[in-house]
Amino acid sequence: MKGNDSMGTKILYQKVAADLKRRILDGDYEVGGLIPSEGELERYYQVSKITIRKAVEVLVSEGYLEKKSGIGTRVISNDLFNKLTQTQSFTATVGQQGKLTKELIKIERVPAVPALLPSESQGTMLRIKRRYLLDGKPFAVVDHYLPNTLVPTKLTALRHRSLYKILQENGQTITHFQDKFSAVTLADSERALLESQTPLAIRRERKGYDGHQRLVEFSIATYQTDVVPYQINYDVL
């Protein structure tokens, strides 16, 4: 249904932007690929061209999309945290250098680890392990830990769901996070996953919190920077 006034148009473009972002985060539109044309999106959502353009502009400003004259609109990031900062995320930067893909290595329930999550040390938590590749070459391995997430009995049901989708289904939203970086020596298993020729790497520990300061997600990411330097582009406001 087409919006006929400014308020209606505003609501519509926000809804379209939210749905497009959901489809990016869910992997329907892959990093490096093009989203449908304006005309196709106009017909799909049954809204005006101006509504589509505004929705796309929102996702361009958040670092998910990039418009290329004569080519189309390309997905440059499927990072859940794009909207949290006035920076271009590392994932978005990597996505501009080639074809970015990710592989699910493991999904399992593990005991809560007091040393890692002292305030979440009881019961179990969900662990999702992924490997990221640029043009087929591994450059990062990430372990996500979700301490307060209800999951189905059969974990196989989660194999094709994005982190965003899992959190969304649990009514969880990350509003801010903390990062800690360190230089590390890779274990043999890590070197094998990264296919690394060097024993050194950068490790990032990230804690994501909701608006009530509750821990939603904890991740440990290991980057092979001789393949992709860890680079973040900042906007000057």
pLDDT tens per residue across span 134-179: 999 999 999 999 887 776 656 776 777 777 778 877 888 888 889 9
Question: Per residue in 180-207, pLDDT tens?
Answer: 999 999 999 999 999 999 999 999 999 9
| pLDDT reported for residue 118 | 58
Question: How many of the other CB atoms lie within 10 Å of CB of 176?
Answer: 13
What is the pTM for the complete model shown?
A: 0.66
Distance CA 24, CA 55 (A): 13
**For residues 77 and 143, which has the higher predicted lDDT (pLDDT)?**
143
Task: Please report which confidence band the pLDDT of residue 5 belongs to, taking 50, 70 and 90 as the band edges.
Answer: very low
- The mean pLDDT value of the chain amounts to 82
Residues near 8 by beta carbon (within 8 Å), at least 6 away in sequence: none
pLDDT at 74 over 50: yes
The more confident residue out of 154 and 86 is 154
pLDDT score at 27: 82
Neighbours of 83 (CB within 10 A): 16
In terms of Cβ atoms closer than 10 Å to its own Cβ (0-12, 13-18, 19+), residue 147 is buried
Given 3-state DSSP classes, what are the helix, strand and coil percentages for the chain, each rounded to the nearest 5?
A: 30, 30, 40
pLDDT of residue 1: 45
What pLDDT is recorded for position 96? 72
Provide the 8-state DSSP code for 25: H
Which token pair is 167?
A: 């959190």
Q: Which range has the worst mean pLDDT, 79-93, 107-121, 137-151, 170-184? A: 79-93
Q: How high is the pLDDT of residue 119? A: 57
Token pair in block for residue 51: 């509504």
